[in-house]
Amino acid sequence: MRVVVNAVAIAAAAWLLAGIRLTDAGRGDQLLTLLVVGVLFGVVNAVVRPVVKFFSFPFILLTLGLLIFVINALMLMLTGWLSEQLGLGFSVDGFWTAIVGALIISVVSWCLELVLPGDR
């Protein structure tokens, strides 16, 4: 279920922002790309993000938590870079696009987790 939530949130960010693109032509290809990117985004957030948060903890405290937005944007940019390296057809252009995209993904994910049944 988490992969689908990630895929929907990434699709919302791609729909709202011109700098986040899905380059596959067909509708079925885009759906498959979204699901694979959703898995990749989940893996990046499960493996890389905790390490980055651990080592940047003093700076997170110093910025009163605002560095979390930067970390989320960096995870989205890393997902975009990995997707380009794997030829998945997903890309993120620039840091500020990643900041806004990460904010959109966070809000959409949060809303979907409120609506969908599951263990909380």
CA 13 to each of CA 29, 105, 119: distance values in angstroms, whole numbers, following the listed order:
18, 6, 26
Q: Is 15 inside any structural domain?
A: yes
> Maximum CA pair distance of the chain?
46
Q: Is 99 inside any structural domain?
A: yes
pLDDT at position 27: 67
Q: Is the pTM of this model over 0.85?
A: yes
pLDDT by residue (tens digit) across 14-33?
Answer: 999 999 998 865 666 888 88
pLDDT by residue (tens digit) across 38-77?
Answer: 999 999 999 999 999 999 999 999 999 999 999 999 999 9
Residue 36 structural domain: 2-115
Q: Is 36 inside any structural domain?
A: yes
Q: Is 63 inside any structural domain?
A: yes
Tally of domains within the chain: 1
